[in-house]
Amino acid sequence: MFESTIEFPFKSVLSFSGLIDLWRQLLSSGGSVETGIMKAVEEELQNKPEFTEPITDLTVLEKSRGLVDMLLNIVFPPAFNDRDYGAAFVPFQNETIFVTPRFKRLWPSENCMDFGNVTSLDKKRWAMGRIVTACHLVLKTFYHVDFSIDFPLIVRLLDPHTHLDRFLKITFDTRFVEVRQTKKLKPLSDVDREWVLGQGDDAKRWLEIVPPDRFMFEGFGVCRAVDVTDQEVLSSLKRDLIEKESLFSSEGFSRLHEKLCIYLGQPDLKMDISAFRGDEIMILNPEHKMEKGCIFCDSEHCMQADFNGSVFADVVEKGEQRVIRDLQRLENKSRVEQHMLEMGFRSLFVAPLYYQDKFQGTFSVKSPQPGAFSMLDTLKLHEITPLFSMALNRGMEELNARVQAIIKEKCTAIHPSVEWRFNRAALNFIEQEDPSVTELEPILFPEVYPLYGASDIRDSSDYRNAALQSDLVEQFEMLQNIIELARKQKPLPILDAINHRIRKNMDEIRDNLKSGDEVDKADFIRKEVEPVLDHLLETVPGMRTPIRSYRAALEPTIGVIYHKRKDFENSVSRINEAVSAYLDEEEETAQSFFPHYFEKMKTDGVDHTIYIGASMVEDLKFDMLYLKNLRLWQLMVMCGVAWRTEDLKASAAMPLEAAHLILVQDTPLSIRFRPDERRFDVDGAYDMRHEIIKKRIDKAKIKGNKERLTQPGKIAIVYSHGREMREYMKYIEYLQDEDYLEKGVERLDLENLQGVYGLQALRVAVNMEAVRRQPFVAPESVIKGVNTCSVAAA
């Protein structure tokens, strides 16, 4: 059926004899419908006896089209002709004798069996398949050799209505093809039998085993097709999205966009992918140039605030996909929806993209047609959404990797204490020869002891809210003074209205500051008050000086009064920087005891995590004495943190106070490096308890009186077992003798936390009046303390 470099060598001829025999069998069975049709067929056959013999002149078919159609009714029922793809043809030839209307409408050429270049197989492979199929029929008929044969054939056609590609899976039926013997059969040796069962691809060998001059084919073949566009496009999308450049090159993105249109059967769609990184959004679409293969470089950058109040913000907040059937009818349109309408779009589909439960961005499809997305379309889009999540995650990981490479060049991305383990993993990766291995081996440190400490700024949320409230009130008071001054010079009703709204906003802030007020009030000033100021500046005499003074008082980058908030942020920053720098310098001392992993994090305060154990060192022997040294060092350092935060109060714009906490765990755990997060984390469900406590312990309260455990000027030591308490009591007694801590220790039971029960704590006050004889903890004082405690324990 294909032109090819391998010419089909068997003779074949059209014949209806097998079909006529089938009709006569049905006639003998007594079916009323078949009987009526067969009688009409028999009458036609009496006038056209050439139909009972092999037909070499195909022009007779057109002269007797009615008879041909009646004969083929049993193969192609008329009721399904406009729905099915099907054709009948001369065995193994291109000449068609019947084609269903739907198949003919879709086919690009006059001859529906001329597959040309639309097949998924190249011409040589298809020609080979045709020869093997013919030989299979011969072997099955005359040598009783049967084997399964399947040549997958997918054709790609252009839909004349949508001008989009459609994919059809073609199957062939040879039940009406008979093999005739024309010469004496050639014996089939055992060697040849084994070879044909192996289905070799040597055409010459096939034709030596089954000589074409000894056989011919009579009858007709049947071709049927099934629309597999969705499956093919879905598979193709998966393959494309696995490729590195699928989303991050113009060619790759355009290819994805084209396949999405085919998948939904709509040629005028537009696809957007948005990646979220902090407050920034990176938008990829077909209109944006993609030249560097980098999501950051090849995208349009916006801020999340630009989408406030839009459908996209709603999808991100709720984490659920949404379909807008007609943007024109959408109530409360934001400027985002207005812009889409101006661009000619009416329908919208938006879905959030999550990878391993982590939010990545959004996937949206727009159409100029209202009501473009049916329930079936949303289900189909829901199926491919995870594919885009995976590709987007890969792009973000590549971006983060590039960022980390720069950081590592300038700083230290991997803590020096465990760098040896990463080097070993990299060497093992280079040494292995299996090309299927694409990831580093897991980096796991079992049986390590965790130490956790935190110094949090007390009531930081209250201070932040008070600062925000003060700044907003100050800004509204300045605006109110300007408006009232303008009213005296040019009384306008609109100025009364603006003044009323300013006063109302100011009262709301004073009475009850809500979480969204910072953005809402800034939007009100920017959108409604600032245009009035611009007008007053140009039209009302004497307004230039007060308006310019007001604008000079604003923070230039964000356009709001930022006095108290800046004081708060500066105060927090001073505390964090001082504590962080102190911990870094003290950490050098701690590393001299025994190498260990150390990391810290700055928020409203500084917390730090330490892991120590035998598995974390390459060639040193671990002893529990090193853990005791580190625990006493940590307690002494927390005293130093308390002194430094207390000293900063005197010179701070806001006298913030810090509360300090240590979490004790005597049971070792395992930590694993998470490549996706570029950090260490506990490994296993049992060890997660420690992480849960870390996240929730700062809110812990004392059982019975609801008092917060952490208090300014004090260190709280949280534990689970009595042996932990006894060890730390010795450290406390030593540090009380050394004037680090004040006398007296509180032993406290804690209220149950979510998922955590039975915690207890020691709480002791830091001696703020002690003379700081040394700026940092001396190693000898730590060693002396451990020895003293060990002797006391003995």
Q: Which is more confident, 205 or 516?
A: 205
512-520 average pLDDT score: 81
* Residue 304 C-alpha from the chain's centroid: 18
> Average pLDDT in the 719-739 region?
92
Output the pLDDT for position 426: 65
Tell me what pLDDT residue 606 has: 92
- The mean pLDDT value of the chain amounts to 83
pLDDT band at 671 (very low <50, low <70, confident <90, very high): confident
Give 35-49 pLDDT, tens digit per residue: 667 777 777 788 888
Average pLDDT over residues 367-372: 93
Report how far residue 209's alpha carbon sits from residue 186's, in angstroms, rounded to the nearest whole number. 8
| pLDDT band, very low/low/confident/very high, at 407 (cuts 50, 70, 90) | very low
Buried b (16+ CB within 10 A) or exposed e, 564-575: bbebbeebbebb
Q: Which residue has the higher pLDDT, 464 or 159?
A: 464
| pLDDT value at residue 203 | 85
Mean pLDDT of 222-228: 88
Residue 4 has pLDDT above 60, yes or no: no
Q: How confident is the model at residue 402 (pLDDT cuts 50, 70, 90)?
A: low
pLDDT score recorded for residue 244: 58
Confidence of residue 1 (pLDDT cuts 50, 70, 90): very low
**Given this model, what pLDDT does residue 677 score?**
63
State yes or no: pLDDT of 75 exceeds 70.
yes
Out of 32-46, 52-66, 121-135, pick the least confident. 32-46
Q: What does the pLDDT average to over 744-771?
A: 88
Query: What is the structure's pLDDT at 620?
Result: 85
Least confident of 75-84, 238-247, 688-697: 238-247
Rounded mean pLDDT, 264-272: 90
Q: Can you read off the two tokens belonging to residue 636?
A: 């002494």
Average pLDDT over residues 684-700: 78
Nearest to 684 by CA among 442, 326, 457, 452: 442
Structure-token pair, residue 708? 């917060």
- Above pLDDT 70, what percent of the chain? 86
Is the predicted pLDDT of residue 725 greater than 90, yes or no? Answer: yes
- By mean pLDDT, which of 337-346, 449-458, 536-545, 662-671 is the weakest? 536-545
- 406 — pLDDT class (breaks 50, 70, 90): very low
Q: What is the pLDDT of residue 290?
A: 63
pLDDT computed for residue 663 by the predictor: 94
CB of 712 closer than 8 Å to CB of 642: no
Distance CA 475, CA 240 (A): 53
Q: pLDDT digits over 561-598, tens only? A: 989 888 988 899 899 999 998 998 888 888 888 899 89
Contacts of residue 178, defined as CB under 8 A and 6 or more positions apart, other chains included, come to 15, 17, 18, 217, 218, 219
H or E element, residue 323: strand 322-324
Alpha carbons 507 and 497: distance in angstroms, whole number: 15
| Both tokens assigned to 404 | 């980390």
What's the average model confidence in pLDDT over 3-32?
76
Question: Average pLDDT in the 498-519 region?
Answer: 85
Confidence of residue 5 (pLDDT cuts 50, 70, 90): very low
Residue 488, SS3? helix
Per-residue pLDDT at 404: 53
CB–CB of 664/439 below 8 Å? no
Give which of 335, 285, 334, 278 is closest to 304, Cα–Cα. 278
**At residue 246, does pLDDT exceed 60?**
yes
- 703-707 long-range contacts (CB < 8 A, ≥24 apart) are 703/748, 703/749, 703/750, 703/751, 704/749, 706/751
State yes or no: pLDDT of 413 exceeds 60: no
Tell how strand 658-664 and strand 714-719 pair up. parallel
pLDDT at 120: 56
Q: Which of 374-383, 393-402, 552-561 has the lowest mean pLDDT?
A: 393-402
- Please tell me the predicted confidence (pLDDT) of residue 412: 41
Of 404 and 709, more confident: 709
What's the pLDDT score for residue 410?
A: 33
At residue 555 the predicted structure's pLDDT band, cuts being 50, 70 and 90, is confident
Entry pTM: 0.48
pLDDT at 648: 87
**pLDDT tens sequence across 282-338:** 888 766 666 666 666 667 878 888 899 999 999 999 999 999 999 999 888 899 999
Q: What is the pLDDT of residue 400?
A: 67
pLDDT in tens, 133-181: 899 999 999 999 888 877 668 888 877 777 788 888 888 888 899 999 9
